[in-house]
């Protein structure tokens, strides 16, 4: 199983980006999905997760109302739609997939079986 993350880049404050996470070797539809981010020298941080096949994004306090996870089952891809970006959103973003659905909160990093390689997002002020 491989996850390929892409879509990062440079954007101005208030702008939007859509990150992609495409899977090969498995069907993402049946996986819980997590997005994380990390700034060098700090711990990896939860951003949002999708823990059911067709449910709503669970977000952290820092991303609530701005970040949404979208599934495209035909493309075996999930997206992280990021709106109203802020300079503090600058980080390397990672997608992850875990084999158990039904969490009512975003599970910890250890839950996820598969990780993408990271894509850099930079938000200029």
d(CA 29, CA 78): 9
Per the CB < 8 A criterion, the answer to whether 106 and 34 are in contact is yes
Q: What residues in the chain have per-residue pLDDT under 50?
A: none
Rounded to 5°, the CA angle 72-74-75 comes to 70
């Amino acid at each position: 199983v491989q996850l390929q993350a892409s879509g990062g880049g440079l954007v101005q404050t208030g702008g939007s980006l859509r990150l992609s996470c495409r899977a090969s070797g498995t069907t993402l539809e049946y996986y819980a999905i997590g997005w994380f981010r990390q700034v060098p020298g700090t711990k990896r941080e939860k951003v949002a997760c999708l823990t059911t096949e067709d449910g709503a994004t669970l977000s952290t306090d820092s991303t609530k109302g701005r970040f949404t996870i979208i599934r495209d089952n035909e493309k075996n891809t999930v997206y992280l739609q990021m709106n109203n970006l802020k300079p503090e959103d600058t980080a390397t973003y990672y997608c992850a997939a875990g084999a158990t659905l039904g969490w009512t909160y975003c599970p910890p990093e250890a839950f996820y079986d598969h990780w993408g390689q990271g894509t850099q997002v930079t938000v200029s002020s």
